[in-house]
């Protein structure tokens, strides 16, 4: 089976500082692979291993994407090859634009299954996977918590609120996986060394198609404001205290 895993690079959240006006200072943040996308890469790699198939990586973004350490980091996790669409316009693109560019790039690749993370680690809109599937015109499923291969069939599970849905996918398909599907491997030195030798293909947007206009206007990006700790202690879980807690929370909002 031919599998494609999509990933996005994001600023390392650990080092994002909040300025006093609530705006974000990314100066000290290094670019890393989104943590939800590491799960998608791992799912693709494991599936390729059990199906004796192949796993390749696909990403779209600004020129940071071609940083050789980031490329080695991506390829040290088991996939054979990397494709990326690099353009400064894509760096600030919205979810629809990214999904469009990825869908255009997918046309150049052979695939049975595309795996996305459940959302990006920075914006977490959970849009790109479902948009990509519908733009590509293939089966589109999100919230996948398990993937099984039985013969030629791909069976997935979705853990819903009250039930576990078990579905057989009509291929090709684009799925988004949840974080409980696996624990991403830790690359060993031999994987890191091998990653430097794997093929990387870099396209511009015009190589794959064109960037559609954006439908989203970002007005501002602000960290949620925090309030002082109230230091209220409720002695026990009596009916009265619970009511009081609820009232206090409502009053604080």
Site residues for other proteins per CB under 8 A = 68-69, 72-73, 76, 183, 186-190, 192-193, 196
Least distance in angstroms from the C-beta of 36 to other proteins? 16
Least distance in angstroms from the C-beta of 149 to other proteins? 25
Buried b (16+ CB within 10 A) or exposed e, 116-155: bbbbbbbbeebbbbbbbbebbebbbbbbbbbbeeeeeebe
Q: How far is CA 80 from CA 4, 44, 66, 155, in A?
A: 10, 11, 17, 24
- Asked if 177 contacts 58 with a C-beta cutoff of 8 angstroms, the reply is no
C-beta closer to other proteins: residue 69 or 222 = 69
C-beta closer to other proteins: residue 136 or 181 = 181
C-beta closer to other proteins: residue 68 or 134 = 68
Name beta bridge partners: 60.
Answer: 85
Least distance in angstroms from the C-beta of 34 to other proteins? 15
Least distance in angstroms from the C-beta of 184 to other proteins? 9
C-beta closer to other proteins: residue 14 or 152 = 14
C-beta closer to other proteins: residue 32 or 114 = 32
Q: Which residue has the tokens 């700790």?
A: 229
Residue 151, sorted as left (phi over 0), alpha (psi -120 to 50) or beta, turns out to be left
- Asked if 64 contacts 70 with a C-beta cutoff of 8 angstroms, the reply is yes
φ, ψ of residue 236 to 5 degrees: the values are -145, 175
Least distance in angstroms from the C-beta of 189 to other proteins? 5
């Amino acid at each position: 089976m031919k599998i494609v895993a999509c990933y996005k690079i994001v600023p390392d959240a650990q080092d994002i500082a909040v300025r006093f006006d609530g705006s974000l200072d990314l100066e000290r943040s290094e670019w890393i692979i989104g943590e939800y996308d590491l799960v998608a890469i791992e799912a693709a790699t494991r599936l390729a291993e059990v199906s004796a198939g192949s796993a390749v990586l696909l990403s779209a973004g600004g020129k940071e994407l071609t940083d050789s350490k980031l490329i080695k980091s991506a390829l040290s996790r088991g996939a054979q090859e990397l494709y990326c669409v690099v353009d400064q316009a894509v760096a600030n693109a919205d979810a629809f634009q990214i999904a469009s560019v990825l869908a255009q790039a997918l046309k150049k690749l052979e695939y049975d299954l595309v795996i996305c993370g459940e959302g990006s680690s920075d914006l977490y809109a959970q849009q790109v996977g479902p948009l990509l599937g519908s733009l590509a015109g293939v089966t589109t499923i999100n919230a996948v918590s398990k993937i099984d291969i039985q013969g030629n069939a791909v069976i997935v599970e979705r853990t819903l609120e009250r039930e576990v849905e078990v579905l057989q996918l009509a291929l090709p398909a684009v799925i988004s996986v949840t974080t409980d599907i696996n624990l991403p491997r830790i690359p060993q030195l031999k994987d890191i060394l091998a990653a430097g030798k794997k093929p990387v293909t870099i396209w511009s947007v015009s190589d794959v198609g064109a960037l559609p206009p954006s439908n989203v206007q970002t007005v501002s990006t602000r960290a949620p404001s925090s309030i002082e700790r109230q230091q209220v202690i409720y002695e026990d879980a009596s009916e009265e205290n619970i009511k009081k807690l609820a009232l206090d929370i409502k009053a604080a909002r």
